[in-house]
Each structure stands twice: as structure tokens, then as C-alpha cells.
Structure 1
Amino acid sequence: MLFFSLAILTISSLAFAYEPSPLQDFCVADSKPSARVNGLACKDPKMVEANDFFFSGLHMAGNTSNAVGSSIKPVNAAQIPGLNTLGVAMVRLDFAPWGINPPHTHPRASEILTVLEGTLEVGFVTSNPENRLITKVLNKGDVFVFPVGLVHFQRNVGNCNAVAIAAFSSQNPGLMGVASAVFGSNPPISSDVLSKAFQVDKKIVEQLQWKF
């Protein structure tokens, strides 16, 4: 019985490990205070208005004329101050034909994605030691979930543009691109370290670092 109680307590603690429930109706983000907090300071509730909970623009397609052929339009506490402390955020993803959202992680949130138009190949990789790829081709109306912290990606596998909406279990899920983090860090990771890690020649590592 004691073991069961401890297990329940541990699970409950993990459930609240990221963003605890708010202690008031809302905490609309106030960008004016200089105090640094884990999140954003609250605006005076008497000054709150409807626009603090509103954003318009997800109907507009993003610009996919870039190296990876995709665009991400975020909707978080920076766009909707009323999201502050509510533990949710979302993005619109646009893909040119065969465009990708490169492998990346969200260190603070799980993600649930819905395809609005087109066909996407999506997937994530499980952690060590398996490193197993879980992948699926999604069509319009299909939904897929990416667990918190795991490396994942999306790719348009059609000849038409694709659009998706993704929601997160954090107001600030964070974004760490695998390639940009490894090869584009500032200051750079030693090419000796990366050449041994990836088992490739240092010149290849240096070329990748130059690109990022």
C-alpha cells in the first residue's frame, strides 16, 4: 500500500512538473516590467481587454521560399498575451512541395498535429538505446502526436502545398533544431568532437558548420 501511494505521488508530481495550474482566472502577459520570472509578469486585471486573448493571421499562408521549403507561424504568449500561464500554444506550418520541417525537438512540450491540406510524412525517434523511428504518412484530417523532448520532423510528400496546425502543451515549448544546434552553436563545438561523434572527416564537419 505504501509503495502504491508513493507511486501515485510520483506520477502526480511528474504531471505538474512543467506548468502548474494557474492560481487566478488569467495572467495576461505584461511586457513592461523588467523583473525576470519563469514566464511573464501579469498585467493588471482591470486593464485586460478582449484583444489580449485574440490573434488574427493563421488564415494567411507562410513564405516557403527558403532552403527547407517550409514556414512556421507561431501563436504563443508573444502573439496572445492572454496565453501566459495557460500552458498551451500553437503554430501554423506551411510546406512547399517536398518541403521539410527539419528534425528538431521541443524540450518543454508534447505536440499534436493536424493536417489541413496535402500529405505529410511525419515521424519521431525514440530515445536510447532503441533509437527507433516511428513514422506515418498523414492525409487531410489526420492527427499525429509527438512526445515531449523527442526528435521529430515533417515532410511534404506531395506535389502540392501542404498546411498543418500543431498545438503544444506549453505556452513556450522551445525549439531546438538538431542540425543548427550541433553545427551552428555559438561558439562552435570543436570539429574534433563532432568528427568523432559522427565518424566523418573534419573537413565535412567544418563544411557543415560553415553552412549553419
Structure 2
Amino acid sequence: MKTVHYRLAFVVLALASSVTSAFDPSPLQDFCVAINDPKAAVLVNGKFCKDPKFTTANDFSFSGLNIPRNTVNRVGSNVTLLNVDQIPGLNTLGISLARIDYAPDGGLNPPHTHPRGTEILVAVEGALLVGFVTSNPDNRFISKLLHPGDVFVFPIGLIHFQVNIAKTPAVAFAGLSSQNPGTITIADAVFGSDPPINPDVLAKAFQLDNKITATASSNADEVIR
């Protein structure tokens, strides 16, 4: 059964590739394996390209995505992102992949955004409550409960999350329409910035007492450290 699940996860990767041309630049060659040696390469999409005749299968592969990750942390989740930094052959191809592990009964991939990519997620294990919020002025919350085999799309740039409501661990795989989609975790960005945002600004933005926002910023800083 798990073999079927993992095959389904890679279907997500294929689906994500259909929207890549709208965001990352279209490649002008078969591939551009990222390399850090400027003497043996040219700069494309912020990475140096290895001479094609020296590329190997290892430039296009990664092993171990079937291994469960540790979810004992403050939010109860663990994201294993495979972007151009882990798979150099992804450079210029406009696609990446992630495995997300969730702890039982509340494991959370907290509200965040991907500024450079749309995400398509397939649930493999557990029961995931997922959702995103549309942009101003509507700020509509669109949500769904996912079971194994269910798929959900998070549009580029919108705040979204997943939480495991099952009593057992959960796993999902996600394809993203960028070789480096980026992640902005809302709570960390707002309350854990360096240097911190003025508590008076946060208090007014969130309509809270500035003592509360100051405490939240202090706590976030301690967690990040």
C-alpha cells in the first residue's frame, strides 16, 4: 500500500511541472546542473552550470525520502524540501518537491507562504485539515479535510497551513512550481524578525495590547535561538 502512496506522490511532481513556465525562467538547454566552480561554468538563474559532458545520475537524484522524519518540536512537523540545493539538476527546471511529516493529534505545518511557487499537495497518511486565505480585501478562508490519496492546491503567495487531526502520524508530499519556492512562516517573520518589529506596530496591526506582542516577540526569539 505504501508503494502506491509513494508513486502517487511523484504524480504530484509531474503535475506541478505543468505550471512552471509562468514563474521560473524557461530553460534554453536540456539542463543546467548547478556547480560552484565559476572557472568551469556559466551563470544561469543564479547558479553556475556544470559542463554537460561531466553530469551524472547523482546530479538528478536523491535517496531517503521514504524515511520518516522527527516531528518532536514546537509545532509537531518536519518539512524535507528537495530544491536546487539538494538536487543540482533542478537548476532552471522550475520545480521542487517536499515531504512533510506530522506528529499525531495536532502536528502542524504552520501558516506560511511560498513567494515564488504554487504548491500541490497529496496526503499519503493520516487526516489533514488544510486551507489557505485569499488576498485582500476578501480574505476568504478555503479549507478541506484530506484523507490518503486526496490532493489540494495552494496558489502562489497565499498564506496556507496543514494540521494532522488523526491520532496517528501523517505524511504528505508536495510539488512546487519553482526550483527554489522560498518559505515565509508568518509567526516567525512577524514575531521573530531580527531586529524585532516595534511592539507598538504589532499591537496596532493585531489589535492587541503591546505587552502581549512584546512577550510574543520575546518568546519567538527564544525559540528561534
Provide TM-score, normalisation by structure 1: 0.90
Partner residue, 1:72: 79
Please identify which structure carries the higher helix content: 2
Aligned to 1:54: 61
2:146 matched residue in structure 1: 138
Whichever of the two has the greater Rg, that structure is 1
What does residue 18 of structure 1 align with? 23
Alpha-carbon displacement from aligned partner over 1:10-37 (angstroms, at most 9, x marks no partner): xxxxx85521210001000102339986
Letter in 1 for 2:38: P
Q: CA deviation at 1:192?
A: 1.0
After alignment, is 109-118 or 28-37 more displaced?
28-37
CA offsets per residue over residues 86-126 of structure 1, 9 Å max, x none? Answer: 00001000000111000000000000000111110000000
Q: Map of 1:69-148 to 2, 5 A cutoff?
A: 69-97=76-104, 98-148=106-156
Q: Does the CA contact (< 8 Å) of 1:119 and 1:139 recur in 2?
A: yes
Shift, 1:170, TM fit: 0.2
Question: 1:207 maps to what in 2?
Answer: 215
Moved over 6 A (4+): 34-37
Tell me the distance in 1 between the aligned counterparts of 2:187 and 2:46: 27
Q: 1:29 — aligned with what?
A: 34
Judge conservation of contact 1:39–1:85 (CA < 8 Å) in 2.
no
Please give the alpha-carbon distance, in whole angstroms, between the structure 2 residues aligned to 1:200 and 1:120.
30
Aligned residues of 2:43 and 2:49 also touching (Cα < 8 A): no
Question: RMSD between aligned alpha carbons?
Answer: 1.6
152-161 vs 23-32, greater mean Cα deviation: 23-32
Which residue of the other structure, out of 153, 157, 164, is the alignment partner of 2:172? Answer: 164
Identity of aligned residues (%): 60
Given that 2:21 and 2:94 are in contact with CA atoms closer than 8 Å, whether structure 1 keeps it comes out as no
Cα distance in 2 for partners of 1:161, 1:125 equals: 26
CA–CA distance in 2 between the matches of 1:92 and 1:19? 22
| CA–CA separation in structure 1 for the residues paired with 2:128 and 2:25 | 33
Residues of 2 paired with 1:115 and 1:16: CA distance? Answer: 25
Aligned residues: 198
Distance 1:24 1:157 in 2: 45
Specify every segment of 5 or more residues in structure 2 that has no aligned partner in the other structure, as ranges: 1-19, 221-225
Query: Following TM superposition, by how much is the alpha carbon of 1:39 offset from its aligned partner in structure 2, in angstroms?
Result: 2.8
CA–CA distance in structure 2, aligned partners of residues 197 and 82 of structure 1: 43
Say whether 1:45 aligns with 2:58: no
Unaligned runs of 5+ in 1: 1-14
